[in-house]
Amino acid sequence: MAGMCCEVNLAETETSAPVQPTSRSARRRRMEIHQFKFVPTDSAVAPPLDGRGKRKRQRCDAVVPVLPPRECEVAARSCEKLNKLAGEVEPEAKQLRVSASAVATEAEVAPDFPKFGMTSVCGRRRDMEDAVAIHPSFSGLSPNFPSGMHFFGVYDGHGCSHVATKCRDRMHEIVKDELQTGGSSSWERVMCESFSKMDKEVGDCSSGRDSTCCVSACRCELQTPQCDAVGSTAVVAVVTPDKIVVSNCGDSRAVLCRNGVAIPLSVDHKPDRPDELNRIQEAGGRVIFWDGPRVLGVLAMSRAIGDNYLKPFVISEPEVTITERAAEDECLILASDGLWDVVSNDTACGVARMCLQSRNPPSPPRSPGNDMSVTAAGESSDKGCSDASILLTKLALARHSTDNVSVVVVDLRKSP
């Protein structure tokens, strides 16, 4: 019985589990299979037999593939197209190089432009009614005035956006004309005349007296043919090498950051301001508290450009301040009330100062082709101004400002 069991077990073992070859023989068999795969299938001559009646394995030589004539033709046509395209692009590239050299030449002879950053967002309002104007060296090369006079303006429209848009497009041109024709007039007179002319242009456009005034179709024009119930605030700063001239009409604001201290260069024109309240009442108007103090219960500011239906209670005469520049000046902030309603002067100054003075830690040397090198704050202050304006805008939105937010930050630090 035992022998029978052994015999049966041996048979089952032979049929169910054949003996596996050694690792060397298995590797040889795998190599032979790969060799057989490389044998060309279109060979007409069979390999000869060896002495044992088996076919001899032939060595398969590597053959370099040759492109068919059609593929060669396509490749040649592609090369011709590339050469033709290169010939067409070369004149444009040459023109771009000439333009770049011309721009570089102009940059060498042009005066140093101030570094600034600007952000303007709609925020939680349905419509965008703010407008921002930035014109470096706006006075041109007039012999009477230096070319280093730079114009910055923030306009906060109400009722619609077209008054703020017109102020953005025209105010700097009017100021420039007044500077050139006014001769030795004081800054206060120049700015007051400019605001008065701007207000007259807006009034002529709104009443239709100026037929050449072209205002694009907007929401207020679809409601009323004459847009007298539209206006805009205006805070304008003219930065010269030795002065900062700020003209304000409305509740937008200009703040100077000097040695870490916030210095307001304008005062908001609110209807409940004592002197403004007296002026409105002497003109026969009233200030009614309706969700805050408002002129006749309508407008939340006592001075603005436009708003013809509220004259003479709402006037366009600006308040002008002239500040001598100092070595401790760091930056100038112009913004609409969308920022100032929720951010104080000191906080805004601290945020802007932090962005301008921030320095990245030293980094290891980089390859010459890498443009992401770290620079000092003085060399990248334009990015610092942009970061400051963006951060102030985000701060206003985070504090739930319900108005449009427009911020301009100007770097006043003098280059070493």
What 376-384 contacts at long range (C-beta under 8 Å, 24+ apart), as own/partner pairs, is: 378/413, 378/415, 378/416, 381/115, 381/356, 381/411, 381/413, 382/115, 382/116, 382/117, 382/411, 383/117, 384/115, 384/117, 384/355, 384/356, 384/357, 384/358, 384/411
Confidence of residue 148 (pLDDT cuts 50, 70, 90): confident
CB under 8 Å to 329, separation ≥6 — which residues? 256, 257, 258, 412, 413
Task: Look up tokens 């089952």; give the residue.
Answer: 12
Work out the average pLDDT over 214-240: 74
Q: State what percent of residues in the chain have pLDDT above 90.
A: 52
pLDDT at residue 12, as a whole number:
41
* pLDDT, tens digit (0-9, with 9 covering 90-100), for 254-289: 999 999 999 999 999 999 999 999 999 999 999 999
Work out the average pLDDT over 315-332: 96
Task: Look up tokens 């206060």; give the residue.
Answer: 188
Domains delineated in the chain: 118-269+304-359+379-411 (3.60.40.10)
pLDDT at residue 22, as a whole number:
53
Tokens of 17: 């589990």
Rounded CA separation 130/152 (Å): 14
Work out the average pLDDT over 324-349: 96
* pLDDT, tens digit (0-9, with 9 covering 90-100), for 124-146: 999 999 999 999 988 764 555 65
Mean pLDDT, all residues of the chain: 75
Is residue 33 pLDDT above 60, yes or no?
no
* pLDDT, tens digit (0-9, with 9 covering 90-100), for 40-58: 444 444 555 555 555 555 5
